[in-house]
Amino acid sequence: MATRRGFLAGMMAAGLPRIGWAAAGSPDFLAAAKAGEAYELHGLTAAGDSLFAIPLPARGHAAAAHPVRAEAVAFARRPGTFALVIDCVAGTVKARLTPPEGRQFNGHGVFTAEGGLLMTSEVVAEGSLGRIGLWETETYTRIGEWDSGGIGPHDMKRLADGRLVVANGGIETDPKDRSKLNIATMRPNLTLLSPEGAVLEQAVLEEDLHTNSIRHLALMGNRVAFAMQWEGDPAEPVPQLGLWQPGQAPWLCPPGEAEAFAMKGYAGSIAAAQGLVALTSPPGGVLMVFDAAGAPLAVHRRADLSGVAPGPEGLVATDGQGGIWAVEPEGLRLLARHNLSWDNHLVALA
């Protein structure tokens, strides 16, 4: 802790010029999109207006927003060989992150509260053992890595006290073609890391759910909501939502029986706000709303829904037809529609 604090203080003291998000129009969200044949990163307001659109060289997966500076890190799709640090005011690429030899980005990253450190989910290409890559953010230089505590880490979230929770999806993939190599033996977990990267606690699912890959996370205070993707028999009704209070066993939150297959076993994104948890399923074309205790409240249908994130006025979702929606228990309320396709994830700015 002392080392990292000292490092951050040094960075602050260096007094380098920084341009805040206000200069980029103070977006509430970042979202990648495909417009015609071009890929873009957009800054969005809570009302769904686009403040900027910056070209991306290829389709991305998720992005991470620097908490202070108007910088976004856009991660390539898995297996990722690069991530781009984008200056959202100038619209230029400020840095290109390349994982060390034998490592691949796995689609997600998160900054520390002050933004001095970027953490990236990575795998050792051969075997998919998880790593958390560490990058200082003035020059975006690699300064180290941690063990993620499992195979195939995907999403991760930083708790307010600096601890990091990682979704180790459990799937070993072929480094070249993404094919899944260990479905019969996979064992996903949730791993809680200290601010220094030590494994504090791990949670696993019951044996009969060992093929439910834990992939995406949302925080409700210190409680973790996690979203899963089922690799088992699609005819088995399994939950896509779980909740975990570190110190306790995780518990699963199935939907109502009539909606047991609505998500086709696949949750694409998850977000929590104002006592609600929302999960999207692009293949199912649904968004499910649960309360903070995991009880199902509603199912809303909309083709190709994927991104969902907490905004200043509540949860917002995006879809592959350009729609941006306010998520309410009663239904989806259209905020805006753009003539493009919103990509997998919608990223909230703090």
Partner 1 sequence: MRKTLALFALLATPAQADVADALRDHILPGYAAFAEAAGELAQAAETSCDPQVLRPAWNAAFDAWMGVSHLHLGPVEEDGRGLAIAFWPDPKGLGWKHQQALMAGDPAALEPAAFADQSVAARGLFGLERLLYPAGDLPADPCPLIRATAADLARMAGEVQAGWQDGFAEVLLTAGEAGNTTYLTAEEAKQALFTQLATALEFDADQRLGRPLGTFDKPRPERAEAAASGRSLRNLVLSLQALRDFAQTLSPDLPQSLAAFDRAIARAEALEDPVFAGVADPSGHLKVEILQQSIRSLRQAVIAELGGQLGVSVGFNSADGD
Facing residues of 333 across strands?
Answer: 326
How far is residue 201 CA from its own chain's centroid?
21
Tell me whether residue 147 or residue 259 sits nearer to partner 1 (CB atom).
Answer: 259
> Which of 109, 150, 285, 310 forms a contact with partner 1 (CB under 8 A)?
285
Binding of partner 1 by 329 (CB under 8 A) = no
C-alpha to C-alpha distances, 314 to 47, 186, 221, nearest whole angstrom? 11, 35, 16
**Min. distance of Cβ 239 from partner 1 in angstroms?**
15
Helix (H) and strand (E) counts in the chain: 1, 28
Q: x/- site string to partner 1, residues 229 to 258, per CB under 8 A?
A: ----xxxx-------------------xxx
Binding of partner 1 by 40 (CB under 8 A) = no
23 φ/ψ angles, rounded to the nearest 5 degrees = -70, -20
> Which of 73, 320, 326, 327 forms a contact with partner 1 (CB under 8 A)?
320
Site size with partner 1, rule: CB under 8 A: 38
Residue 311 near residue 272, CB atoms below 8 Å: no
For residue 85, which of 50, 46, 115, 113 has the smallest C-alpha distance? Answer: 115
Binding of partner 1 by 341 (CB under 8 A) = yes
Residue 215 near residue 241, CB atoms below 8 Å: no
Cα angle: 72, vertex 73, 78; to 5 degrees: 145
Q: x/- site string to partner 1, residues 175 to 214, per CB under 8 A?
A: ----------------------------------------
C-alpha to C-alpha distances, 255 to 94, 145, 290, 333, nearest whole angstrom? 44, 38, 8, 22
How far is residue 87 CA from its own chain's centroid?
20
Binding of partner 1 by 215 (CB under 8 A) = yes
Please classify residue 338 by burial: count the beta carbons closer than 10 Å to its beta carbon, then call 0-12 exposed, 13-18 middle and 19+ buried.
buried
Distance CA 279, CA 299 (A): 10
> Which of 34, 94, 142, 223 forms a contact with partner 1 (CB under 8 A)?
34
> Which of 306, 310, 311, 316 forms a contact with partner 1 (CB under 8 A)?
306
For residue 172, which of 151, 190, 144 has the smallest C-alpha distance? Answer: 151
Binding of partner 1 by 42 (CB under 8 A) = no
**Min. distance of Cβ 177 from partner 1 in angstroms?**
13
**Min. distance of Cβ 184 from partner 1 in angstroms?**
13
Residue ranges in 76-135 that form contacts with partner 1 under rule CB under 8 A: 77-78, 107
Tell me whether residue 80 or residue 116 sits nearer to partner 1 (CB atom).
Answer: 80
Task: Write out the DSSP string of 22-36.
Answer: GGGT--SEEEEEEET
**Min. distance of Cβ 16 from partner 1 in angstroms?**
34
Binding of partner 1 by 38 (CB under 8 A) = no
Binding of partner 1 by 27 (CB under 8 A) = no
> Which of 265, 316, 344, 346 forms a contact with partner 1 (CB under 8 A)?
344
Check whether the bond before 79 is cis (ω within 30° of 0): yes
Binding of partner 1 by 304 (CB under 8 A) = yes
Selected range binding partner 1 among 93-101, 121-129, 193-201, 227-235, rule: CB under 8 A: 227-235
Residues at the site binding partner 1, with contacts judged by CB under 8 A: 34, 61, 77-78, 107, 154, 215, 233-236, 256-261, 266, 268, 282-283, 285, 301, 303-306, 319-321, 323, 332, 334, 337, 341-344
